Amino acid sequence: MIVTIDGPAGTGKSSVARMLADRLGFEFLNTGAMYRAVAYACLQRQLDLASEQAVGDVAHSLEIFFSNNRLLLGNEDVTEAIRGQEVTQSASIVAANPVVRKRLVELQRIVGQGTNLVTEGRDQGTIVFPNAECKFFLTASPEERARRRQRELLQKGEQISLEELLEQQKLRDLRDETRACSPLKPAPNAVVIDTTQMTLVHVASHLEQLVQQACPAALPR
């Protein structure tokens, strides 16, 4: 059984998807981390991110693994390195590259084969798993999303003004929503949930209930 959670950054997708996967006893897939990993590898190689083929070649050559909630690129643990500001901005450029998307979608479908999975990203319900049993699309106001990002960065010692974060967020949203290949949008049969006024635990409980109502027979015993 596949549960998809899509939506823009700062809607609590990753934390909620992880909590939901734990509660249901499902695997968890963070597909944003995969785009970030490709961006990180391109930055390391000082590639021109606009070069579709060179960036696509990197995506094909990388060995990306998740292990115990860590993201490994070959032998290198890049879990923290991919969360910085430069990778965040670069990931949204790399994510518009159709060669990269094709490769990562292939890998995501392999992860989803024959397993119970909660997967989160931008295109999980629309493109990667169109037949998923349960689809969610999380939203939140731009201000609240930027505040959440500011708190996340502060915890890592990075101080950035809300205005700057809002500007960056606007640019990334625009890129994610208007790219030709798999633009960010809810699947027609996704349940849309506004998380602005909700805690992450509250959102996870709500989704758990909806999954149980929608697919009681499909849940593992």
Judged by CB under 6 A, which of 24, 95, 118, 203 binds ligand DC? Answer: 95
- Comparing CB distances to ligand DC, the nearer of 19 and 91 is 91
Judged by CB under 6 A, which of 31, 150, 169, 195 binds ligand DC? Answer: 31
Residues 49-78 that bind ligand DC (CB under 6 A): none
- Do 66 and 14 form a contact (C-beta atoms < 8 A)? no
- Comparing CB distances to ligand DC, the nearer of 24 and 88 is 88
**Minimum gap (Å) between residue 88 Cβ and ligand DC:** 6
Judged by CB under 6 A, which of 12, 32, 112, 125 binds ligand DC? Answer: 32
Interatomic CA distance for residues 62 and 106, integer angstroms: 13
Judged by CB under 6 A, which of 11, 20, 40, 92 binds ligand DC? Answer: 92
Judged by CB under 6 A, which of 2, 4, 71, 123 binds ligand DC? Answer: 123
110: its two tokens:
């392999």
CA torsion 16-22-26-32 (nearest 10°) is 40
Determine if 168 is a binding residue for ligand DC (CB under 6 A): no
> Three-state SS across 147-198?
HHHHHHHHHCCCCCCHHHHHHHHHHHHHHHHHCCCCCCCCCCCCEEEECCCC
Residue keyed to tokens 């115990």: 68
**Minimum gap (Å) between residue 93 Cβ and ligand DC:** 8
How many beta carbons lie within 10 A of that of residue 189, not counting itself?
A: 10
Judged by CB under 6 A, which of 36, 103, 135, 149 binds ligand DC? Answer: 36
Residue type, 22: D
- Give residues in contact with ligand DC (CB under 6 A): 9, 31-32, 35-36, 91-92, 95, 121-123, 172, 176
